[in-house]
Amino acid sequence: MNTPVIEELYKTTYQKLLRASRRYYSLQVLSALLKVLFIGASIFIVFVLIETILDTGVPVRLIFWFGFTLFMLWLVWKEVLPPVRSFISPGKADLYRISLMIGKKEPGVYDNLINFLQIYHEQGIVSHPVLKELSLKQLYQKFRNANFFNIVNFSILKQHTFRLVTLFLIFILLFVLFPTSISQAVIQVINPTRATTIELPVSLINYTGDVTVLKNEPVMLRGAYQGITPDYLWLIIRPIETTKENPLQRLKLPITSNKRFEFQLSNAKQSFTYWFEASLNLSAFKNRVARSDSGRVIVKERPYIRDLQVTLTYPSYTGLPAHMLAPNDGEITALPGTKVQIEIEANKSLQQAWLAFKDSSRVDLIVQENHARGAFVVKGDNQYQVMVLDLDSIPNYQPIKYSIFALSDEYPFVEISQPGEDIDLGDNLQIPMLINLRDDFGFKSLYLKGHHVRMGSSGDSVEFSMKIPFHPIDPNRAISDFVWDITSFYMMPDDFIEYYAEVYDNDIISGPKSSRSRTFIIRLPSLLEFLENSEQVVSENMEDLEEIQKDTEELKESLEEIQRELKREQELSWEHKQELQENLSEHKEALKKIEEVRQELEKMVNQLDKQNLLSPETLQKYFELQKMLQDLATPELMEAMEKLQQALEKADMKQVQKALEQFELSVEEFEQQIERTYELFNRIQLEQKMDELVKMAEKMVEQQKNINKQLDKESLTPEEQQHLSQQEEQLSEESEYFKENLEEFQKELAEEMGLTPEELEKAKEFMEQQELSEQMKMMSQQMQSGEMQQSKKQGQKIQANLEMLQSMMQQAQQNMNQMEKQELMMEMQRVMRDMLRASFQQEQLSKQSRNLDMASPRLTQIARKQAQLRENAARIIKDLISISQKTFFISPQMSKIMSSLMENMEWSLSHLENRNPKAAGQSQLQAMANLNHAILSLQNSMNQMAQASSASGFQEFMQQLQQMSGQQGQLNQETLGLFQKQSQGKMQPTPEMLARLAAQQEMIRQSLEQLTQQQGERGDMLGRLGELGKEMEEVVKELQQQKLDRRVIERQQRILSRLLDAQRSIREKEHSRQRQAEREKVSSVVSPPDLKNEIIERESRLRKAMLEALKEGYSTEYKELIKLYYELLSRRPGDSLEKE
């Protein structure tokens, strides 16, 4: 309970708050009334203005008053009633709101008044009576003198009053400006049902009225006006369904003097209502229009294609699945023979539908309500339209023209990749073929066609055609790899085959199309042609080397002259710089020319080797010669040229002199090497001619055997007899060529090597005695005359004579090789004896020098002996150079060894002249070591020469290579089968399958790598299979990565092809070596027993002499040299120990 004091304080406070509240809310009621009055007056004035402009009519005015009344009532209820209710009976919330407003307006009150009320009503935190009373008293003291009426602010009425007065002033201004219109509009608004309109002096007539048209067709709307001429004339078009996309249109029309007007709509899209309107500029009729009667244009919908669906069914040979075009896509791009199915859906039921083509053809469609379907076959480029009629026989408007593009089935492509060029045949008549095929949809058949032209004539030719298999790689590609055996053509020298591949695709619509590859020629050149070409190449290469040799000699002299002149100058002159630049350029050209010679030589050797015209020894020497030509551009020479070029660019005199000195030494060494190369080339040329003669004899025997074999047939046609006669005639020409070459070779052999084998002279005399060429011509004539029995006898006789000639030539070749080898071996033994003697003498001089002092008078005598020994070493070097120009077995290191020997001897002489015996002894020891090293190198060369005819060991290699080829072929078949199943969707390879294939390929790769390592330096016989291992590695990687695609198949095909090529090449070379080995084996002679005993006794005497020499206390190195010396003596058949 509150105390009386508290109640009195609250009552006083409440009364003051109540008076302040009523005064405040009375002001709020007045403000709300002014606001409502302003809004109502604004709405009324706005509607009066609208009525003035539009003359809305009675319904609109009634609606306005109804809406205006409701709105004003709602506005009064919302804006006026709340403050009236708070004025009459303020609630606790109203008092709290007033208290807060007083606290904000009155200083010192703040929240004290509201806190007083809350504590009184027990809404505060003070609950104890004593504290509550004390708090209320304190709070009351704070606001007891406050003026509660400060919250009443009459300024809020000023704003509303100002706006209301402004609104009325605007209305008065408008009334002054437009008194008649405004007053009439006010009267009409106040009296909404009262009509005050004055009839317009113009009227409009609608002549067109209601019409019906087709969609997108033009429509003409006509009318006329009566009365005075209007200032404005409009056509009003209102769609049946007015939307944002189709709004009401107001089109201004031109006014004519004949009081008629018209307007044409170019294409009616939809139904609409229309009328005409006219207006006058007179103030009495302003904002009023004359309106005609409304008309209605009914637009009937044409039928149209709502949905179009085209499905293409391709010809069966393409293997392509049916393809459905995108909806409403009628553009057709397809092969001829493609079936096109069309389905349409129209917007209404149809009476008829058809396809109209540009070529005036037509395809009717099957109609079912608003659907239609049909089909046609693509025959060529065309255009079509889908035509429809609805049930009212109305056609569709401007149907779309769709194009038909007939794709041409491309012609197939065929390419002969291997050989891929014109080739000359050798002994091998099996040609590996690789044909690549491409087409857009596949292949039907593949043929190899051409014609065989005999003896180079254009008249005698036979056409051939053979169907060959192929296997697809993917739907658009295929390959054909096979070995073409042309043995059945029975080609003779100068015959050739023109051939090409022809492929047919699988187009069954317009007929299979075919394409041909490029035409290639397989030629069987005559032996004479090969020999003449090789002779010309060798002659040209010899001339080139001789020219390079002369140029090098001139270059050396020029460099020496420049070197002498530079020593007299302080700076490098421009002339000398240009001269050195020219010398460098000339030497670079010489190196380039040497490389061209090497390439020409390699090409010639390959051709001769294909024809089996070179012995293995000559072939190996040609390989060595090519290597020598390649090694002429030594790293030292190239470095010297580069340093000289850099020095010339810097124009540094000291660097130029130093670089020029180094370049001069390199040129001198180059001169020696090119001279050696030239001499060796000259000797190899003679050996090549001997090989060619032997091979010619062998081939003549083979050709005669073949002719005799053909003659043994029971019956020969005239054509066959003529062909054999031509072969015998050609054999006669070859024998004449053989005889001429034999005579020339004898002369060259005597001039160049000083050899005159008796067998060559016997072979020449034998040919002259037997008259081989005349016998062959006689046999040819006999065959032409049909005397077959006589020609058979003559053929057997000629064969026997040729076989005898072949034996003579083989024996002559063996004897020539043996004589050459013996001559070289004797020269090398003589040089080795000189080296041994010089080594012993050098050792003695070294011992004597090291035991003397500087003042010894014997130094002069030792220097004289050392000078003599130096001259002997120079003679030894000269002899070695002579030997090196006759054989490849002298190591290139020998030149460096002998250069070091001469340098050490020069140093020893220099030290002796300076009376320094100790240093001289060291140089002499180094010279002795050089001699010993040279002796060992020469001994190694002699051993290599002695074993030059040993077996090559390639038979085992061939077996391993054949095994690898078989494994690779089997692996290729497995991989290709798996790839085809994957492409056809029949099976997806598992990781285990691919891992197994990768393991098999890796096993083959390791076998190839091991085989290559076993062959060592003769790995060139592998046909450059080093890159093949990389191909295998790529296949293994892709299979391990779960990739099985066309690239893997192509790589494996290349691997197999390279293996077969290498196998074939090596087989040809090895076959040549085997035949040579067999001939040597047959011609070997067994020594008689007496000769064997003599050799044994001689070896025994030499061994005793060697043991006695070893007891003399020589060093270990000299003991090894003594053993080598006596071993050489034991190999010489005619020498005795006493002679030595």
Same domain? For 63 and 167 the reply is yes
Domain assignment of residue 222, yes or no: yes
- CATH number for the domain spanning 214: value is 2.60.40.10
- Bigger pLDDT: 808 vs 835: 835
* Mean pLDDT rounded to a whole number for the chain: 78
pLDDT at residue 1110 in the model: 47
**% of the chain beyond a pLDDT of 70:** 78
Start-to-end C-alpha separation, the chain: 162
pLDDT at residue 1114 in the model: 47
- Decide if pLDDT at 763 tops 60: yes
Say which amino acid occupies 279: S
Domain end position, chosen among 1035, 1050, 1083:
1083
pLDDT digits (tens, 9 = 90+) for 474-522: 878 899 988 898 877 777 777 788 999 999 888 777 778 888 999 999 8
Same domain? For 283 and 352 the reply is no
Total count of domains within the chain:
8
690's tokens: 């001997």
Domain range holding 679? 527-692
- Decide if pLDDT at 164 tops 60: yes
Same domain? For 370 and 287 the reply is no
Same domain? For 379 and 471 the reply is no
Beta bridge partner(s), residue 765: none
Same domain? For 77 and 23 the reply is yes
pLDDT digits (tens, 9 = 90+) for 225-263: 988 888 889 999 999 877 777 788 899 999 888 889 999
- Decide if pLDDT at 436 tops 80: yes
Same domain? For 960 and 1042 the reply is yes
Domain assignment of residue 921, yes or no: no
Domain assignment of residue 859, yes or no: no
- CATH number for the domain spanning 630: value is 1.20.120
Highest mean pLDDT among 100-104, 665-669, 765-769, 836-840: 836-840
Mean pLDDT of 28-34: 87
pLDDT at residue 630 in the model: 65
pLDDT at residue 1117 in the model: 46
Same domain? For 546 and 680 the reply is yes
Lowest mean pLDDT among 182-196, 354-368, 1034-1048, 1082-1096: 1082-1096
pLDDT digits (tens, 9 = 90+) for 624-677: 666 666 666 667 767 777 777 777 777 767 777 777 777 666 666 666 666 767
Mean pLDDT of 815-820: 76
Lowest mean pLDDT among 899-908, 944-953, 982-991: 944-953
Domain assignment of residue 587, yes or no: yes
Sequence-distant (6+) residues with CB within 8 A of 332 are: 310, 312, 325, 340, 378, 402, 403, 404, 405
- Decide if pLDDT at 708 tops 80: yes
pLDDT at residue 1132 in the model: 45
- Bigger pLDDT: 403 vs 959: 403
Closest CA to 115 of 139, 147, 137, 132: 139
Closest CA to 404 of 344, 334, 337: 334
Domain assignment of residue 87, yes or no: yes
Same domain? For 337 and 398 the reply is yes
- Bigger pLDDT: 1103 vs 271: 271
Same domain? For 243 and 315 the reply is no
pLDDT at residue 607 in the model: 67
Same domain? For 25 and 163 the reply is yes
Q: What predicted TM-score, i.e. pTM, was given to this entire model?
A: 0.42
pLDDT digits (tens, 9 = 90+) for 108-150: 666 767 777 777 776 555 557 777 777 777 777 777 777 767 7
Q: Grade residue 356 by pLDDT with cuts at 50, 70 and 90.
A: very high
Lowest mean pLDDT among 186-200, 293-307, 337-351, 514-528: 186-200
pLDDT digits (tens, 9 = 90+) for 3-22: 787 777 778 777 777 787 78
Same domain? For 1070 and 1100 the reply is no
pLDDT at residue 1064 in the model: 54
pLDDT at residue 246 in the model: 78
Q: Grade residue 310 by pLDDT with cuts at 50, 70 and 90.
A: very high
- Helix, strand, coil percentages in the chain from 3-state DSSP, rounded to 5: 60, 15, 25
- Decide if pLDDT at 24 tops 50: yes
Highest mean pLDDT among 144-148, 188-192, 527-531: 188-192
- Bigger pLDDT: 114 vs 169: 169
Domain end position, chosen among 473, 504, 525:
525
pLDDT digits (tens, 9 = 90+) for 854-867: 878 888 888 888 88
In angstroms, the CA 760 to CA 746 distance is 7
pLDDT digits (tens, 9 = 90+) for 870-919: 898 888 888 888 787 677 677 767 877 888 888 898 898 988 888 888 88
- Decide if pLDDT at 296 tops 70: yes
Asked whether the bond before 419 is cis by omega within 30 degrees of 0, the reply is yes
Domain assignment of residue 851, yes or no: no
Closest CA to 217 of 74, 396, 429: 396
Domain assignment of residue 607, yes or no: yes
Q: Grade residue 346 by pLDDT with cuts at 50, 70 and 90.
A: very high
Q: Grade residue 952 by pLDDT with cuts at 50, 70 and 90.
A: very low
Q: Grade residue 528 by pLDDT with cuts at 50, 70 and 90.
A: low
Mean pLDDT of 88-96: 75
- Decide if pLDDT at 206 tops 70: yes
The helix (run of H) or strand (run of E) holding residue 674 is helix 653-711
Q: Would you call 1112 exposed, middle or buried from its count of C-beta atoms within 10 A (0-12, 13-18, 19+)? A: exposed
Residue-wise DSSP of 21-77: HHHHHHHHHHHHHHHHHHHHHHHHHHHHHHHHHH---HHHHHHHHHHHHHHHHHHHH
Same domain? For 47 and 162 the reply is yes
Domain assignment of residue 375, yes or no: yes
Domain end position, chosen among 810, 834, 858:
834
Mean pLDDT of 1098-1123: 50
- Orientation angle between helical segments 788-850 and 758-770, nearest 10 degrees: 170
pLDDT at residue 616 in the model: 63
Q: Grade residue 614 by pLDDT with cuts at 50, 70 and 90.
A: low
Vertex 6, ends 5 and 12: CA angle to 5°?
90
